[in-house]
């Protein structure tokens, strides 16, 4: 019997008989039991999942000792926990080696940039950091992609090359810790912040485990001061953090997990379904991606609060945005602001002397180029690149037509109603986002960019051997109760998040209402959660 299952069954029917059964199932003096117990906590087959009970045990132990240790020991303890988090996977030693190497190079480079005055020396160490962080990122994520793209390009002209696939391991949190370290060095170079002299604080900033798998991409001027002055034990903050974790698990497991069953089936078997189901799956995936990503970020932010830290908020109800610019101001905030500060702003500064048509074209290019780069950040697939190109085009068109659209809005009779105006604008933004997300979904589910074009070319097709009812109720096995749970749960999420941050809203409610919500979310997890969907979309990046 599985150890965890035995414990659950014991508490479900606590009695003398069940206690004896539990003791027989869990022989405390048997070495084999402890070996199995350890394997159940650490099977070493993959990175620690923020939804697993292993992570909950890990977080509790980490928090308990963190608050017991004196101030000088706290950062050392968190650093040990962070590296231990990565070493949960037995192949994590390579990741920790890369992490330590990146940390050392960027740490000493920042010190040199801060202390030395010669411009060429400061630029040398900046370039060293960029090449180190960027080189590691490009090698592990894009070596095979670039090799295959190069081979395919020359194949168009009749040249054939042998492209060998390099067996590269997936490095946990690679994109996140390279961006954090690189952003820190650039900030030091631009004299936004001084270089951090304490290597423990800096190493912890780069490797802080709550935000390494899903973000947010932290900034040094936000996280480092908190690491140096850790907050004292605060029951309200810890309780709010635990609720934020529960909130994220509900969004991830109950809502996104069940929607994933539908979208995965359709996107991996497009030829079986008609245009209506294809269109519905695309619309559903947009919201599923938001629930999945924001839910995982809720868990990360909640874990940070349990330890006394306030991490950057990564989402702010993006589909409430009334323009494409507003949507991206609210979506993956830490990544979009990183691209804005370290790519868009330097490009704009470099080309600040251009005027007239060239100036406008350069400004539009600066806006556009961020999104294909973002597409490549998400993965080495043409589907992600097409997703980025479309997003960039929509963003540029939105900027170009902004003044004319404001004039038309004043003359539009439908816009006299504020509700109808908001509904139309939000619907248009959601539709545009969905057009782009089709290619993202195709790549995520192991398809190609051509499958995204297939979906659009068959939107009005009536062919398909399965209708929607057969797909949902028979093939996927959904019950009407599950569908109601998804619908009511989604409405509840939108209403609660419109009021404010979940952990702040819940603490303001009356005690009985608060605990009704707690138990409702827990029961929803027990009854409707798709525990098979323990993966995480952005965990791949």
Task: Please report which confidence band the pLDDT of residue 96 belongs to, taking 50, 70 and 90 as the band edges.
Answer: confident
Which residue's structure tokens are 């009695």? 15
**Is residue 402 within a helix (H) or strand (E), and if so which, with residue range?**
helix 402-411
Rounded to 5°, angle at Cα 255 from 253 and 261: 80
Mean pLDDT for the chain? 84
| Choice between 156 and 203, residue whose per-residue pLDDT is larger | 203
Residue 535 has pLDDT above 60, yes or no: no
Which among 305, 260, 330 has a CA at the least distance from the CA of 534? Answer: 260
Distance CA 151, CA 143 (A): 12
Task: Round to whole Å and give the CA distance between 184 and 173.
Answer: 17
Greater confidence (117 vs 35) lies with 117
Of 150-154, 172-176, 364-368, which range is least confident?
Answer: 150-154
Taking residue 27's Cβ as centre, other Cβ atoms within 10 Å add up to 11
User: Over the stretch 63-89, which tens digit does the pLDDT of each residue have?
Assistant: 999 999 999 999 999 999 999 888 877
- Residue 360's pLDDT is 77
Residues 209 and 133 sit within 8 Å (Cβ to Cβ)? no
pLDDT at 1: 44
Taking the CA atoms of 166, 539, 85 and 522 in sequence, report the sign of the dihedral they define: negative
> Do residues 303 and 58 touch, judged by C-beta distance below 8 A?
no
CA neighbor of 312 nearest in space, from 201, 179, 240, 220: 220
DSSP annotation of 319: G
Concatenated DSSP letters of 117-151:
--HHHHHHHHHHHHHHHHHHHHHHHHHHHHHHHHH
Could you please report the per-residue DSSP string of 274-297? -HHHHHHHHHHHHHHHHHHHHHHH
Angstrom CA distances, 423 to 169, 189, 326, 417, stand at: 45, 45, 15, 10
This prediction's pTM: 0.85
Mean pLDDT of the 495-511 span: 88
pLDDT in tens, 250-285: 999 999 999 999 999 999 999 889 989 999 999 999
Residue 399 and residue 424 in contact, taking contact as beta carbons nearer than 8 Å:
no
**Catalytic positions, please?**
378
Split at pLDDT 50, 70, 90, the class of 302 is: very high
Q: Is 358 a residue whose pLDDT tops 80?
A: no
CA distances (Å), origin 182, targets 142, 317, 539: 18, 28, 20
Which of the pair, 525 or 143, is modelled with greater confidence? 525
Q: Which of 299, 293, 390 is nearest to 335 (CA)?
A: 293
Distances (CA, A) of 220 to 142, 187, 204, 223, 228: 27, 8, 11, 5, 12
Exposed/middle/buried for residue 98 (C-beta within 10 Å: 0-12, 13-18, 19+): middle
For 251, what's the count of Cα atoms within 13 Å in the CB-facing half-sphere?
Answer: 27
% of the chain exceeding 90 in pLDDT: 44
- Spatial separation of the C-alpha atoms in residues 387 and 526, rounded to whole Å: 36
Q: How confident is the model at residue 228 (pLDDT cuts 50, 70, 90)?
A: very high
Between the alpha carbon of residue 386 and those of residues 275, 375, 395, 396, 444, the distances in Å are 21, 8, 14, 15, 13
Q: What is the pLDDT of residue 145?
A: 65
**Highest mean pLDDT, choosing among 6-20, 284-298, 445-459, 500-514:** 284-298
For residues 269 and 274, give the distance between their C-alpha atoms in angstroms, rounded to a whole number: 11
Q: How many CA atoms, within 13 angstroms, populate the side-chain half-sphere of residue 535?
A: 10
Contact 398, 325 (CB under 8 A): yes
- pLDDT: is 218 or 3 the higher one? 218
* R_g of the chain, CA atoms, integer Å: 25
Give which of 196, 189, 191, 190 is closest to 220, Cα–Cα: 196
Percent of the chain residues topping a pLDDT of 70: 81
As a whole number of angstroms, the distance between CA 278 and CA 337 comes to 33
Can you tell me the distance from the alpha carbon of 472 to that of 482, in angstroms, rounded to the nearest whole number?
11
What pLDDT, on a 0 to 100 scale, did the predictor assign at position 255? Answer: 95
pLDDT digits (tens, 9 = 90+) for 120-173: 999 999 999 999 888 888 777 776 666 666 666 556 566 665 655 555 555 667
pLDDT digits (tens, 9 = 90+) for 97-112: 888 989 999 999 999 9
- Cβ–Cβ under 8 Å, residues 221 and 315: no
- Contact present, 110 and 184 (Cβ < 8 Å): yes
* Main-chain phi, psi angles of 246, to 5 degrees: -60, -40
What is the pLDDT, as a whole number, of residue 438?
Answer: 94
Q: In this model, does residue 457 exceed pLDDT 80?
A: yes
| pLDDT tens column, 321-347 | 999 999 999 999 999 999 988 988 887
Beta strands in 152-213 (DSSP E): none
Exposed/middle/buried for 49, CB within 10 Å: 0-12, 13-18, 19+? middle
DSSP state of 169: P
pLDDT band of residue 404 (cuts 50, 70, 90) is confident
């Amino acid at each position: 019997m599985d150890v965890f299952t035995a414990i659950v069954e014991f508490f479900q029917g606590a009695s003398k008989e069940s206690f004896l059964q539990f003791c027989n199932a869990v022989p405390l003096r048997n070495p084999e039991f402890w070996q199995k117990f350890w394997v159940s906590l650490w099977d070493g087959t993959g990175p620690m999942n923020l939804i697993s009970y292993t992570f909950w045990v890990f977080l509790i132990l980490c928090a308990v000792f963190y608050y017991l240790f004196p101030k000088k020991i706290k950062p050392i303890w968190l650093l040990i926990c962070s590296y231990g988090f990565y070493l949960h996977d037995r192949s994590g030693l390579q990741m920790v080696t890369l992490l330590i190497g990146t940390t050392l190079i960027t740490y000493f480079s920042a010190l040199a940039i801060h202390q030395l005055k010669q411009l060429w020396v400061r630029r040398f160490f900046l370039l060293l950091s960029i090449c180190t962080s960027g080189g590691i990122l490009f090698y592990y994520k894009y070596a095979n992609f670039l090799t295959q793209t190069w081979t395919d390009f020359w194949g168009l002209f009749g040249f054939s090359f042998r492209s060998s696939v390099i067996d590269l391991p997936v490095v946990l949190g690679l994109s996140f810790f390279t961006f954090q370290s690189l952003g820190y060095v650039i900030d030091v170079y631009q004299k936004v912040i001084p270089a951090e002299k304490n290597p423990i604080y800096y190493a912890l900033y780069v490797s802080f485990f709550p935000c390494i798998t899903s973000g947010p991409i932290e900034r040094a001027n936000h996280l480092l001061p908190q690491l140096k002055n850790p907050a004292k034990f605060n029951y309200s903050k810890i309780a709010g953090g635990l609720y934020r974790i529960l909130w994220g698990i509900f969004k991830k497991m109950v809502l996104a997990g069940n929607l994933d069953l539908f979208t995965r089936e359709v996107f991996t078997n497009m030829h079986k379904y008609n245009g209506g189901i294809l269109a519905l799956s695309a619309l559903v995936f947009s919201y599923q991606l938001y629930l999945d990503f924001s839910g995982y970020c809720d868990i990360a932010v909640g874990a940070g609060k349990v330890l006394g830290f306030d991490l950057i908020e990564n989402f702010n109800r993006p589909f409430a945005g009334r323009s494409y610019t507003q949507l991206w101001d609210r979506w993956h905030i830490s990544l979009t602001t990183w691209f804005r500060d370290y790519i868009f702003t330097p490009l704009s500064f470099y080309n600040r002397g251009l005027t007239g048509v060239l100036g406008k074209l350069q400004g539009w290019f600066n806006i556009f180029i961020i999104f294909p780069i973002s597409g490549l950040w998400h993965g080495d697939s043409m589907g992600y690149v097409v997703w980025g190109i479309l997003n960039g085009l929509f963003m540029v068109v939105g900027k170009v037509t902004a003044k004319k659209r404001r004039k038309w809005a004043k003359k539009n009779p439908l816009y006299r109603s504020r509700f109808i105006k908001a509904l139309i604008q939000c619907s248009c933004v959601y539709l545009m986002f969905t057009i782009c997300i089709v290619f993202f979904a195709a790549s995520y589910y192991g398809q190609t960019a051509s499958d995204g074009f297939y979906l659009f070319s068959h939107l009005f097709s009536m062919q398909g051997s399965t209708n929607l009812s057969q797909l949902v109720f028979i093939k996927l096995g959904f019950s009407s109760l599950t569908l109601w749970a998804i619908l009511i749960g989604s409405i509840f999420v939108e209403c609660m998040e419109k009021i404010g941050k979940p952990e702040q809203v819940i603490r303001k409610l009356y005690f009985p209402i608060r605990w009704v919500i707690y138990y409702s979310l827990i029961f929803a997890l027990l009854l409707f959660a798709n525990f098979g969907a323990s993966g995480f979309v952005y965990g791949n990046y």
